[in-house]
Amino acid sequence: MTPRHALLPLALLLTWSSSALAARGFQARDLETMDRFSSPTLSPDGHKLVFAKRVVDYAANKAASALWIEDVPAHDTAHAKQLTPKGWNVNSPAFSPNGKTVYFLSAKSGSSQLYAMPASGGAPSAVTALPVDVDAFALSPDGKRVALAAGVFPACGADLGCTKDKLDGVGKDKSTGVVFDHLFIRHWDTWADGRINRLFVAALGGKAPSKAATLIGADLVADVPSKPFGDMSDVAWAPDGRSLVVSARLSNGDEPHSTNFDLYRLNADGSGTAQNLTAANKAWDAGPVFSADGRTLYYRAMKRPTFEADRFALMAMDLGTGATREIDPQWDRSADGITLSDDGNTIYTTAENLGQHPLFSVDIASGGVTEMVGDGTVSAFVIEGPTLAFARNSMQTGDQLFTGGINGAPVVAATPSAADMLPEVKFGAYEPFQFKGWNGDTVHGYIVKPWNYEEGKTYPVAFLIHGGPQGSFGNGWSYRWNPQTYAGQGYAVVMVDFHGSTGYGQAFTDAISQHWGDRPLEDLQKGWAAALSQYSFLNGDKACALGASYGGFMAYWIAGNWQQPWKCIVAHDGVFDNRMMGYATEELWFSEWENGGTPWSNPEGYEKFNPILHVKDWTVPMLIVHSQQDFRIPVEQGIAAFTALQRKGIESKYLYFPDESHWVLKPQNSVLWHDTVNAWLKQHIGQ
């Protein structure tokens, strides 16, 4: 491939049913029960597409995924065939280098293990039968070995049976106390049990499943991939198969207040010691990718330690000399990953950009950047041979898979859109708007019309506030905070990407740190005024403000600092006492960066924008949602806020989930969440 392949114009993003067929708005049950498509995977020649299709059993409150396959170019979704057998729940597909075999993970045996099956169809066969779960894998370049990630106890070394024995022994002792001597004692939604993620290498092609594997990087005591959301994009095989490079942060007790991930080179045979390639950078290094000749290592790097929302720059390292250079210093966006073109001249990556999330090509020599696929959120992509396959979503559909777009190939939908699956549903139309916010800067937002919009009428408004705070409510699809679920109830939706949001340059993102309550609040206030002046269908007298995480903080902050015009507030998993958040959250680097130090070294930083100090001014009815397994913002934050509301006699409700984390993910719990929130809005602003 060359970096100059032209992408054909995308004539049609979604296939829409006629408005005459649309009889209702989008509902939470639609959100939870629609099929979901993901993991586009191409054969090495680019002629076969494998993808995952997730189907929900709502009555059973669970979902299962199967792999499907179709030819490229696809003609229509009817040509796709289910590859994995019915009754299997599978994930993480990968083609062998010769394209004849598809590998994947499944817990069919009761334990997550690696399986293989012919790409032409047939019965799956187990590749591994390890004593512990295989959590992720990466095939070697020649397809003869595989790197396996598994959670093990460090003291067990390479003995996987030792880890199994220790896990089997849990619960046999009548005492239940656990002693910790360092953080993390819990992370995201899980209490620490002493295990870390480690890499093992096993041979492929044996007559029987592998029951053992070789531990690599034995001296590197670190989670690979990182917890809780790391994946194998942080693991790269060298082209000669003799070593791997991984991104890792040492498990030494400093993890809760460190973002110092380094790139380590490990011998694939388990010999030697780990070599730190990026020790000089105390910030985050991630996503290693080798050049075809193995002489250059490409990766992404941040520059500021302990700041998780710093810009990821694209980097190149000469492995012979160790010299590094930034490829894209003039591109003020944060790259999500690295995919190399066949000729090695181009990096393909996605990045947030002005409320969109396009696919870009970056010329390695010049650093020049070209948008390839825009209009929505490109959530995944793969390029093999002459073929590009990508997943894209928008405010009107979840991920839809496409192929084509380079070398003159037309863009063809390989899976249905939300409108295809729900022809009776009319989705709310959306459009971006902008205004002058804090410091006179241009701030962007989105308006979503209600599904039943009619010219000349006015509609009550759901004012949604995103989390992060370094995040965005842009042109994408969410399974947690989806504006269409409000448009489907007959509400208009207003969303503002206030200072601190991503995709508008690093300085814009930086502006919120140590300014949680002033700059973004000014943007929200000015954005609300701008929306009312630009869109006459918004009923400013019937509006509720809703937010989660940082958005939940802002909901509490609004309750004490901007009571009008809100008729009600919804605060999900919000920070109520910022000082206690600095002590109780698990990823301490976040609170310490955002507040300018620790709670004891800079108490003023934590109290300056602390919602708990403004409870005396609360008057607006509020619904609070919080979950027991949320260790990012512990459940006591929500309980305390509800206590304040009740003691002040303010109309309030508290929705509690004992089995959810920072997100509400179980299908029936999600529907209950939406039903409760929608009922609260209907009670206060009508429908």
Q: Residues with catalytic annotation? A: 549, 630, 662
User: How far apart, in Å, do the first and last CA atoms of the chain sit?
Assistant: 54
Q: Which amino acid is at 275?
A: Q
3 state SS of 530 = helix
Look up tokens 């006591």; give the residue.
636
Residue pair 283/303 in contact (Cβ under 8 Å)? The answer is yes
Q: Which residues contact 498 (CB under 8 A, 6 or more apart)?
A: 437, 443, 512, 519, 520, 523, 524, 527
| 385 phi-psi bin (left φ>0, alpha ψ -120 to 50, beta other) | left
Angstrom distance (rounded) from CA 566 to CA 493: 14
Q: Of 529, 518, 575, 584, give the one whose Cα is nearest residue 551.
A: 575
The two three-digit tokens of residue 526, written as one number: 């000015």
Angstrom distance (rounded) from CA 100 to CA 520: 53
CA dist list (Å): 497 to 303, 305, 681: 24, 25, 23
CA dist list (Å): 320 to 234, 280, 323, 328, 488: 21, 17, 8, 22, 58
3 state SS of 445 = strand
β-strands 568-572, 538-548: how paired?
Answer: parallel
Residue pair 351/390 in contact (Cβ under 8 Å)? The answer is no
Look up tokens 């976040």; give the residue.
590
Angstrom distance (rounded) from CA 149 to CA 226: 10
Stated length of the chain = 687
